[in-house]
Amino acid sequence: MKTIKCMMDHLYWADERILHALEEGEIKNKELLKLVRHVAVAEQVWLSRLQGKGSTQYSLWEEAEELASIRTMFEQNAEQYRTYIAGLEESELDVMIDYTNQSGVPFQTSVRDILLQVLLHGQYHRGQINRALRIESAEPVQVDYITFARLK
């Protein structure tokens, strides 16, 4: 449980650093904002599934007009994940969750694997976002786990 909690803290930290870099660079690139929004919405989708709720109301690849609304999503995600993780016992990590994906296909996945998906999915896309920042002539931001760990 300690490792997952620490990795989730890294996720909140990395999300915040990416948002800050986008704000500082005054990025308006619609495709880049769409990708950032995708990360936020994917976090919501998986949390909804962990909570036993449906996720079909979420649109994973919708355009975003402004960064402020994406920031709000990330802030709400962090708050809700912190609450979820705080109430989670080690023994619950292997509980299987039944859910339907965005295409309506049923799956069953452990809480542990869902949380790892959230963590790894975000890291993957943060790499893409950093590459896009460089293309936009903005400064990429360091979001590696080791950088986070050195700050603790």
pLDDT string in tens for the chain (152-residue length): 999 999 999 999 999 999 999 999 888 889 999 999 999 999 999 999 999 998 888 889 988 878 999 999 999 999 999 999 999 999 999 999 999 999 999 999 999 999 999 999 999 999 999 999 998 888 899 999 999 999 98
**pLDDT for the residue numbered 152:** 83
Cβ neighbours of residue 34 closer than 8 Å, sequence gap 6 or more: 61, 62, 63, 64
User: Could you give the CA distance from residue 131 to residue 133 in angstroms, rounded to a whole number?
Assistant: 5
| Domain count within the chain | 1
Tell me what pLDDT residue 25 has. Answer: 86
Residue range(s) defining the domain that contains residue 48: 2-151
**Strand blocks (E) in the chain:** 96-100, 106-110
User: Per the annotation, does 125 bind a ligand?
Assistant: yes
For residue 141, give the CATH number of its domain: 1.20.120.450
The verdict on whether residue 38 carries a ligand-binding annotation is yes
* 20 annotated as a binding-site residue: no
